[in-house]
Chains A and B, each alone.
Chain A
Amino acid sequence: MLIDIRDLYKIYNEGQESEVRALDGVSLQIDQGEFVAIVGASGSGKSTMMNVLGCLDVPTRGEYVLNGTDVTSLKDKELARIRNREIGFIFQGYNLLQDLNALDNVILPLIYRGTSVFEREEIAMAALARVGMDDRAHHRPSQMSGGQQQRVAIARAIATHPPIIMADEPTGALDSKTGRHVLGILQQLYREGTTVLLITHDDGIAATAPRVVRLSDGKIVKDEHQEVEWL
C-alpha cells in the first residue's frame, strides 16, 4: 500500500466558534499505480486532503503512512526530501516562479534533488518535450498562455520522475480543450505506472479516473471504481 491514512482530522480554529473540520475523520488507502479522483463540492475539503497527503500541510491528528513511513513524525529535511522525490505537484494557479524561464523552473526541483549540473538541462528538456513545451524552454511564464504554463508546471512535477503526481484542480483555469490535453497527460502518466491523485469539483473531469472518492463536509461519502473515458 502506498498511501494509508486512518482517522485523519484537519481542524481549523479548533474549540472556537469558528471551528472548521476540513477533514473530519477520514480513512483512505491508495495502492501504487492507482489513478484516483477526489471530488466534492467547493469547501468539502479536497485541497486540504491533497495538501496533507502531499506533506504540504500537517493533519491535526490521525495516522498517515506513506510508503511504509509514518509521515507525521518526520522533520523538515525528510519532508523536503519526500516532496522533492516522491511527489510531483500540479496546482490550479501553476505556481511557477515568474522570474525564471520555463527551463529554469523545471530545473529547480533537480537542483534541490542534487542532480549533477551536466544532466539537469537534458532531463529538464526531456520533461518539457514530454508536454510539448520544449520549443518554449526560454520563455518566461508571463510570455505563455495558461495552458502552456500548466504544461510547464507538469514538466516540473515529472522532472524528478516521482512515483506520485498530485494535481489540485489542474484544469480549473483552462478552457475545455487545453483542459482535456492536460488530463490526457495525467492519464498517460498513470498508464506508465505513476500513481495519480486528481482533485476536482467537476464530475465530468472525475470521469477520467478509474477510481473516484467523493468528499462532503470533510468526510468520505463514496469510494468506487468506474469505467474510464480515455482521452
Chain B
Amino acid sequence: MNLMQAFKMAFKSIASKKMRSFLTMLGIIIGVASVVIMVSVVQGMNKRSMERFEAMGDNKIEVYAYQYYETSGSVSELLYEYCLGMQDLVMGVTPQVDVWREITIKYGAKTFSTQNWDDWEKRISIQLGSDQFGVCNNYTLGGGRELSFLDIDKTNKVCVLGGGAKTLLFDFVDPVGETIFINNQPFLVVGWYEPSGVEGMSSMDNVILLPYTFNRTLNDNQQIQQYVVKAKSAEATTLAIAKLKAFLGGFITEGENGFFNVYSNNDWSSQVQEQSLMQSLVLGAIAGISLLVGGIGIMNIMLVTVTERTREIGIRKAIGAERKSIIVQFLIESAVICGIGGLLGIGLGSMGSLIAGKFLLQGMKLWPSATITVGAFAFSVALGVLFGLYPAIKASSLQPVDALRAE
C-alpha cells in the first residue's frame, strides 16, 4: 500500500467518523485559541504601558525644590542658568506647574473649565512652563512656535495649545494667530503640539501652556516648586542628577532653609519593565496551563477511542494490513485532524484577540505574535499526533486475535 493510498484511507476514516473527528478537533481548537488570546492580551497590555511611558518621555529628571525665603534670586532662574551651563548633558529645563484654581477658557461660543471633573474628556488644564516645556515633556510642535524666552521675561499674553485642547477649541482650524480668552484676558495662540497619540491620555493633550511668569497672578505668587530637566541620554541622566543635587545643595540645606529632591523617571521605567515582565510571566504561566488543559483534553479523546480503534486495527490486520500501513494511516489521520484543528484554533484565537483588544484595551488592534501562535499550534498538533498514534502503535504490535478481542 503506497502513501497516496494511506492518505485516502486516512481521509476516508476521518470523514466516516465525523463526530469523533470533530470532538478531537474541538479540543485542539479551544486549546490553541485560548493560548493565542491569552498571550495577545498580555502582550497588548505590556505594549500599552510601554507606550504610555514612552509618550511621557525618557531621561526626564524631576526636580523638587523649595526655599523658606528666597535669597539669592528665585530657584527658577538659578536652575535655568545652571542647566544652560551643562548643555552637553541637558536638552532643556522648565518649571512644571499646574494651575489648580478655577479658570475659564473661551473661544467664540465655546467655554471650558479647569475644574470640569464630570467630563474628563472636556477638561482643559493650564500648565505653566518655560520655552523648553515641549522638549522636556516630549511634545512635538505641530504648528506655530514654542514660547520664547522673551514671552517669559515680559510675561506676554501668549499660549501654546496641546493637541487635545486645540481640537476642543478649534476643531481642525489652524489656531495660530487666533485669540482665546483665559479668565476673560485675551491670549494669542502662538503654537500647538501634536497629540501624544496614546489612547486614554487626554490629560496629557488637553493642556494650554502659558509662560511660567504667570505664576505670580494665576497661583497667587506661590513659589514654584517643581521642575523638569530633560537629559540627553540615560548616562547623562545619572550625571545630571548628581550635578543638580550638588548645585541645589549649594544653597539649600535640607530642613534649615528649605528642601529639595531630584529623581528620574528612568527608575520608574525599569519598574514598568519589571512589572510587564512579571505580567508576561504570570500570563505566560496561565497560557501554559490552558495549553496543558487543552492538551489533556486532546489526550483524553484520543485515549477514549483506543479500545474502539484497537478492534478496528484487529480487523484491518486480519484482512491483510501490515503494521506499517496501519501506523502510517493513523499518523496521517491524527496529523490531518490536529492540523485542521490547530489552524481553526489560530483563526478563532486571532478573532478573539481582536475582540479582546476592542473591549479590554480601548480598541487596540491586537494581533497574536507569530512565535506564540506557531508554538501553540506545534504543541497541540504534536500532542494530538502522539496520542492519535498511540492506539496504532500499541494495537498493531498485538497478535490480530488479541486486537480483535478488544471490546
Contact = CB atoms under 8 A, between A and B. Distances in A.
Contacts of A58: 399
Contacts of B315: 95-97
B9 A56 contact: no
Contact of A89 (B319, B322, B325): B319
A22 B105 CA distance: 104
A55 B404 CA distance: 13
Task: Name B's interface SS.
Answer: helix
Contact of B404 (A77, A95, A99): A95
Contacts of A85: 320
B319 A83 contact: yes
Contact of B319 (A51, A112, A114): A112
A51 B401 contact: yes
11 contacts: A57-B400, A76-B322, A77-B323, A80-B321, A80-B322, A83-B317, A95-B315, A97-B312, A111-B5, A113-B320, A114-B1
Pick the most buried of B9, B320, B400, B404: most chain A CB atoms within 10 A of its CB. Answer: B320
A56 to B, nearest CB: 4
Contacts, number: 68
B404 A112 contact: no
B400 A111 contact: no
Pick the most buried of A58, A80, A85: most chain B CB atoms within 10 A of its CB. Answer: A80
Q: Chain B interface residue count: which class?
A: 20 to 34
B17 A99 contact: yes
Interface in A99-125: 99-100, 104, 108-109, 111-114
B290 to A, nearest CB: 32
Nearest to A47: B401
Interface of A: 51, 54, 56-58, 76-77, 80-81, 83-85, 89, 91, 95-97, 99-100, 104, 108-109, 111-114, 156, 160
Interface in B238-273: none
B13 interface: yes
A56 B399 contact: yes
Contacts of A77: 322-324
Contacts of B322: 76-77, 80, 112
A91 B405 CA distance: 12
Given A57-B400, A111-B1, A80 B317 contact: yes
Contacts of B404: 56, 91, 95
Contacts of A91: 404
B111 to A, nearest CB: 76
B401 A80 contact: no
A104 B320 contact: no
Contacts of B84: none
